[in-house]
Amino acid sequence: MHTTERQHGSWPLPDGLGQAIRGTAEEIAVLVRSASDTALAIPGAEWTIGEAAAHLAIANEVMADLAAGRERPYGDGSPQSLVRANAESLAVFGERRAEPLATMIAEQAEAFLDALSRPAVEGPAPATPLGPMNRPVLAAYLLTHMLGHGYDLARALKRPHMVDRARVALCMPFILSVMPRVADPAATAGLTARYRIRLRGGESFGVSLADGAVQVTPGAPPQRADCTILLDPVAFLLIALGRLNPWRAVARGQVLAWGPRPWLASRFPTLFTAP
C-alpha cells in the first residue's frame, strides 16, 4: 500500500484511492499535452480545452492546500457561487498552454497526496467548496472532480475517457456525502419517496425524501423502497456529474427501474444539481 493510503488519525484512505488520484491526473496530463490547440471548444460546454485544463490546475492546487490544512475559500457551495468562483479564478490565472497546465495538474495532485502522507492537522475538517470533509471524502472529491473534467477533455480530443467501474467505486464516499447538500429544494419540495439505488457489481444505498429533507443511507437501502433503480456504475457517475442525459442511458439499457412507484425513477436525476 502506498504511504498516502496509510492510517491518518482515525481516517484511513480506501485501498487504491491514492493510486487512482495519481493515475487520473497523469492520464489527464497526457490528454492535455496531446492537444494541438487548447482554444478548441469542449462539446456541450462553455469552456475550451485550455480553460478546462487551467481550472483543473487551479482546483488541484486548492485541494492540495485543503489537504495540508490551509484555508482556501472558493464560493459558498451554491451552484451560482461556484460558477462565479470558477470564472474569477480563470480571469486571474491566464495560463492556457498545454505543457505548463499538464505539469501543474499532475504536480498538484502529487502535492495533495504528499499532504495526506503527513499527520492530519488538529482541528476541524477542511472547509471545501461543498462543506467540511474528512480526508477520505476530500480525496474522493478530488478524484470525482478530475474524472468529470477529464471526461470532457477526452471527448473534446476524441480520446478514450478514464471513467471506469473501479474509479466510480472510489468516488462514492464523496457522492453519497454531498447528495443532501446538492439536492434542489424546488424539486424535492412536497415529495415523499424512498429510493433504493443499486450499482451493477457495486454497492447499494438508499435515498429517502420527506418534507423537503433528503437522507442518504450508504450500504443499507430501505427494505420497502417505492422505487429501485439499477444503474451501470459509469453511467451513474456521468449522470450525477451532468455529463450524460439520463434518457440516453435508459435507451442504452444502462438504467432499469421497478417497484410500487417505478415512475419515480424519472424524477430522481432532477432532484439534484451536479456538484
Q: How many domains does the chain have?
A: 2
Query: For residues 130 and 136, what is the distance between their CA atoms, to the nearest angstrom?
Result: 15
User: Does residue 23 share a domain with residue 46?
Assistant: yes
pLDDT at 126: 76
Residues 6+ apart with CB under 8 A from 63: 108, 112, 128, 138, 141, 142, 145
User: Does residue 222 share a domain with residue 145?
Assistant: no
User: Does residue 212 share a domain with residue 165?
Assistant: no
* Domain assignment of residue 216, given as a range: 185-271
Task: Label residue 242 exposed, middle or buried (CB < 10 Å: 0-12, 13-18, 19+).
Answer: middle
pLDDT at 264: 97
103: CATH: 1.20.120.450
User: Does residue 209 share a domain with residue 161?
Assistant: no
User: Does residue 211 share a domain with residue 165?
Assistant: no
Last residue of a domain, one of 147, 177, 207: 177
151 alpha-carbon distance from chain centroid: 11
Per-residue model confidence as pLDDT tens digits over 223-264: 789 999 999 999 999 999 999 999 999 999 999 999 999 999
Label the pairing between strands 193-199 and 227-231.
Answer: parallel
pLDDT at 138: 96
User: Does residue 171 share a domain with residue 107?
Assistant: yes
User: Does residue 104 share a domain with residue 32?
Assistant: yes
Query: For residues 154 and 27, what is the distance between their CA atoms, to the nearest angstrom?
Result: 10
User: Does residue 171 share a domain with residue 247?
Assistant: no
pLDDT at 125: 74
Q: What phi, psi does 73 have (nearest 5°)?
A: -60, 135
User: Does residue 224 share a domain with residue 204?
Assistant: yes
User: Angle at the Cα of 211 (from 210 to 216), degrees rounded to 5?
Assistant: 40
Last residue of a domain, one of 139, 161, 177: 177
Residues in the chain: 275
pLDDT at 237: 98
User: Does residue 219 share a domain with residue 160?
Assistant: no
Digits of tens for pLDDT over the chain (275 positions)? Answer: 333 333 334 467 899 999 999 999 999 999 999 999 999 999 988 999 999 999 999 999 999 999 998 888 887 777 788 889 999 999 999 999 999 999 999 999 999 999 998 887 666 777 898 989 999 999 999 999 999 999 999 999 999 999 999 999 999 999 999 999 999 999 999 999 999 999 999 899 999 999 889 999 998 766 789 999 999 999 999 999 999 999 999 999 999 999 999 999 999 999 999 87
| Confidence (pTM) | 0.92
190: CATH: 3.30.1050.10
E strands, the chain, where? 127-128, 131-132, 193-199, 204-210, 213-218, 227-231, 255-258
User: Does residue 192 share a domain with residue 144?
Assistant: no
User: Does residue 209 share a domain with residue 173?
Assistant: no
pLDDT at 240: 96
Last residue of a domain, one of 177, 209, 232: 177
Amino acid letter, residue 130: L
